[in-house]
Amino acid sequence: MELNVHKLTVEEAIEEIMFKFEECEEIGDNTLKIIHGHKHGTRIKDTIRANVFLNETARYGFKIISKNYSDPGVSIFQFKSSKKSVKIKPKTSFHGIKTENRIPTKMCIKCKKPLILIKESNWYKCPKCGKLKK
C-alpha cells in the first residue's frame, strides 16, 4: 500500500501513517510505502526514519521487520502485526439512535479510545475527540 504525506505536518503525517498501518493489516498487506519527499524539508522523513518512530509503531502493535531507505523521498516498511483482536459486545446508543454500532474495531491513535462505526457512511468516529477515519 502507498501513502503520500506531502504537505502534512509531522503530527498529521504520523497519524495518517498509523491509520494506514491499520488499513494494511485489515487487507492483509504487510508493506507500506510512504512518500514524504526530500527536497522541501526533511522533518517527516527524519521523524519516520528515527528509532523513536519505530518504537512507537511497536507500541501500537506493528513490528517493523524490514525497512528500505534507498530512495531519499520514499520510505518502505515491511511489518507484522502483533495485535490481538478483541471482541466487544455491541451496545445500544446512549440516546436510542441506531445509527452507530458500538463494536470498536479500531482505536483512536490520539485518544487511545475505541472508534465507533457510523453505519450510513462506513466511517469511524472517536467518541472523545470526534476525529473521523475511513
CATH of the domain at 37: 3.30.1370.110
Are both 22 and 42 inside the same structural domain?
yes
Q: Which of 113, 106, 109 is nearest to 128 (CA)?
A: 113
Identify which has the larger pLDDT, 106 or 4: 4
Are both 74 and 113 inside the same structural domain?
no
pLDDT digits (tens, 9 = 90+) for 66-90: 999 999 999 999 988 776 543 333 3
Are both 60 and 20 inside the same structural domain?
yes
Specify the number of domains making up the chain: 2
pLDDT at residue 29 is higher than 80: yes
* Class of residue 126 by CB neighbours under 10 A (exposed 0-12, middle 13-18, buried 19+): buried
List C-alpha distances in Å: 103 to 15, 92, 93.
22, 10, 11
Are both 25 and 76 inside the same structural domain?
yes
| pLDDT level of residue 126 (50, 70, 90 thresholds) | confident
Are both 51 and 64 inside the same structural domain?
yes
Are both 9 and 67 inside the same structural domain?
yes
Identify which has the larger pLDDT, 59 or 67: 67
Question: Average pLDDT of the chain?
Answer: 77
Average pLDDT over residues 9-33: 88
Range of the domain at 98: 85-134
Which spans in the chain are helix H? 10-27, 43-48, 51-59
Are both 15 and 71 inside the same structural domain?
yes
Q: How far apart are CA 123 and CA 120, in angstroms?
A: 8
Identify which has the larger pLDDT, 85 or 114: 114
Are both 57 and 99 inside the same structural domain?
no
| pLDDT level of residue 35 (50, 70, 90 thresholds) | very high
